[in-house]
Structure 1
Amino acid sequence: MSVKEQDLNLLQVGKKEQYAARIIFFVAGFGISTWAPMIPIIKERLQIGADILGLLLLCIGVSSFLMMPIAGLFAQKFGCKKVLRVMGLCMGVEIIILSMLPNIYMYAIFLFVLGAIGGILNVNMNIHAVIVEKLSKKRMMSGMHALWSVGCFAGAGLFSILAKLGLGISQIAIIHCIIIFMIIFAFSRYFLPYKGASNGKAIAIPKGIVTLFGVLAVISFLGEGGMMDWSGVFLTEAKGVDLSLAGVGYAVFSAAMLIGRLIGDKVVQKLGEQRVVIFGGIVASVGYIISIVFDNFFMMQFGFILLGFGAANIVPVVFTLLGRQKEMPINSAVTAVTSMGYLGVMFGPALLGFIAHGIGIVAVFCILAGMFILQAIVSSYVFKVLN
């Protein structure tokens, strides 16, 4: 019996451990969404242009990208319980620091720190989620990922309410930090001290079927990133939609994805993993195609709804399957796939921007539709190998 299997046999999972595994996703979303509303306020405070702001925000992406491939080593050395507890608390402290910094250089440093915290937290909470679901022997992954979105809505919503009441960003950050601390102190005792295999490599490089899981993740994250960054441009430039409605497409897509994940565990249980992933890719592609073909505003929104529902549960199922593959230790496999998926988020929208500049935004959406078809094809091969 391997070290990994011995570790799993020693772990016990009940309702409290399951709730704790869910809540850390909420904390991650709540924390990062506290930073987002600060951005325009800090831009004005520092008197910087969009170009400098873009470079500052790039610090988050660069540090996350650098930390993710080695983030699984933190679990291997310290265990998920300690890593999630410390990173959750660091997230709370970090948002207070970001609300108070005096100059650009300090923001560059601490945004780099924010990206590192986010990268380590993201990888380890997914490792933890895979183990909890595996030991619970029940569908949980879609619901866990849904709670990240719930955390984002809660963080941004509470920030807006407190700002309307006249509180400054430092006061709001302190309140949000207190909420994070209360959640961590209440639930962190139930995090699992999973460490994974003791022979993990320093950098998680995907191999075998894990590489294909990474491809599925890249396509899903690229599709989501494409909607976030380019749906507004698509609606206004290609479809002639009024600028005031530019954000509706992404809002509709996000709502559909959230609902799809909230009900996703039951959907996967009823339809099966293979159908959810393969047909999810096809439905997402059809959603893109509808938005391209039809000029009617409501039909375009229907396309975005299909896209959100189709893509919603692909990544959660991929993480579930990582708990069953034998090519790599779970902590290394999750680290590798999370890192690959983040490539789609970080570099994908920029690459799509070059394509949009060269051959048009409609071509970008056509490419994304084709990539979801490719995802369905790759998924069918993956399930043949697994079966």
Structure 2
Amino acid sequence: MAGFAMASWAPMVPYAKARLHLDDADLGLVLLAFGGGSMLSMPAIGWLAGRYGNRRVIGAAGFLMCLALPVLALVSTLPLLAVGLLYFGAMLGAVDVAMNAHAVDVERLQGRAMMSGFHGLFSVGGLVGAAGMSAMLASGLPLLACALFVSLAIAVIVFSQQASLLRGAAATRGAAAPAFVFRLPRGLLLLVGMLCFVIFLAEGSMLDWSALLLRDFRGTAAASAGIGYACFSVAMAVGRLTGDRLVARLGPVWTVRAGAALAAIGFLIAALLPWEATALLGFVLVGLGAANVVPVMFSAAGRLPASAPAVSIAAVTTLGYAGLLLGPALIGFVAHATTLPAALACVAALLLLVAASARVVRR
């Protein structure tokens, strides 16, 4: 549900840019609101999930998220677009923290690594959202009708699945949560969070800029430009659905090192080669490379003994979402000063730094 909702926004970005007559710098600035909404909600959600349980948070935030996409399809001014993205980011951030904390509970009950597989289903949702929205737009359906259909699908998923979630598993360990919610992460948690910052920035680049790269630099029609994020999501889903076995074989350090390096190569191919096919190949490599880096980090954070899983994951995810907050704006400003391909090449350089820092996850 979360991947489906987030990816449905990607094909809508060029429409919002055209409707409001924004340049790259303006668009990058307003996209700050998406990551900002997530970051503002996450510390409080870590506390709420630790106190009341992940099940209630997922259900409430999931239903509230249904309002976001129809609003984003209608807004006609820059302030309203910013408010809509702020709200969308806040609800998606709430679901994100609670569902990952819930995944840690399930891993504990099963006694084995499962986080990559869960994130694989997030990517499956991303594939369905990007490809489905692109297909509806290409068929000629109005943007608002497409957004309403997505919102209805989100509501059906939440309503049908909420009863199957664990009841109160996090609450029993969440008594100490208030002592940790507003404390800045330190030590290993801070280092893992900074690596998440870069990976989330890279994933956000795919969400917010892949369609524009295809449309403005590779000659793809606007209605079909969302296929770039769909290719990224397919690759990420494949990588994550096989990721638990990969982590068991390679170990967490080499999973992070090889994955970040492969994602960097993908960005360079998409940015430097001037064809649509090579851009799509680059997006596939980014998806395969980045697939299992964040699941490895989230599992490690969720097992830290000092606090409830929701609180640790909220801290790491908040730093990660800072990449979504700052990344679109930074890429927009660099693209405005140079070109969008040059800005995406800078993301490749950051991913090489992640690969060089992979030993931090050994512990």
Q: One fold, TM greater than 0.5?
A: yes
Q: Is the 8 A contact 1:210 1:327 kept in 2?
A: no
After superposition, the Cα gap between the structure-2 partners of 1:199 and 1:94, relative to the gap in structure 1 and judged at 3 Å, is: same
Equivalent position of 2:122 in the other structure: 148
Q: Is the 8 A contact 2:27 2:332 kept in 1?
A: no
After superposition, the Cα gap between the structure-2 partners of 1:40 and 1:287, relative to the gap in structure 1 and judged at 3 Å, is: closer
Number of positions where the alignment pairs a residue of Structure 1 with one of Structure 2: 353
**Aligned partner of residue 87 in structure 2, secondary structure:** helix
Equivalent position of 2:219 in the other structure: 243
Runs of 5+ in structure 2 lacking a partner? none
RMSD of the TM alignment (CA)? 3.9
TM-score, with structure 1 as normaliser:
0.74
Equivalent position of 2:21 in the other structure: 49
Q: 1:131 aligns with which of 87, 92, 105?
A: 105
After superposition, the Cα gap between the structure-2 partners of 1:152 and 1:292, relative to the gap in structure 1 and judged at 3 Å, is: closer
Runs of 5+ in structure 1 lacking a partner? 1-26
Alpha-carbon offset, residue 123 of structure 1: 1.4
Pair member with larger Rg? 1
The amino acid that maps onto 1:198 is A
Cα offsets for 1:253-286 (capped at 9, x unmatched): 4432232122222222333222211222233334
Q: Is the 8 A contact 2:271 2:341 kept in 1?
A: yes
User: Residues of 2 paired with 1:263 and 1:351: CA distance?
Assistant: 33
After superposition, the Cα gap between the structure-2 partners of 1:181 and 1:278, relative to the gap in structure 1 and judged at 3 Å, is: same
Q: 1:379 aligns with which of 338, 342, 358?
A: 358
The percent of aligned pairs where both chains have the same amino acid is 36
Equivalent position of 2:89 in the other structure: 115
Q: Is the 8 A contact 1:212 1:378 kept in 2?
A: no
Q: 1:209 aligns with which of 184, 188, 207?
A: 188
After superposition, the Cα gap between the structure-2 partners of 1:153 and 1:257, relative to the gap in structure 1 and judged at 3 Å, is: closer
Bigger RCO of structures 1 and 2 (CA < 8 A, at least 6 apart): 2
Q: 2:312 aligns with which of 317, 333, 337?
A: 333
**Counterpart mapping for 1:38-187 below 5 A:** 48-50=20-22, 58-95=32-69, 109-159=83-133, 172-187=146-161
Alpha-carbon offset, residue 30 of structure 1: 2.5
Alpha-carbon offset, residue 124 of structure 1: 1.3
User: Residues of 2 paired with 1:205 and 1:39: CA distance?
Assistant: 33
Q: Is the 8 A contact 2:127 2:233 kept in 1?
A: no
Q: Is the 8 A contact 2:54 2:102 kept in 1?
A: yes
Q: Does 1:198 align with 2:175?
A: yes
User: Residues of 2 paired with 1:380 and 1:275: CA distance?
Assistant: 8
User: Residues of 2 paired with 1:291 and 1:102: CA distance?
Assistant: 32
Higher deviation after alignment, 260-269 or 170-179: 170-179
Q: Is the 8 A contact 2:20 2:77 kept in 1?
A: no
**Aligned partner of residue 184 in structure 2, secondary structure:** coil
Q: 1:258 aligns with which of 220, 237, 249?
A: 237
TM-score, with structure 2 as normaliser:
0.78
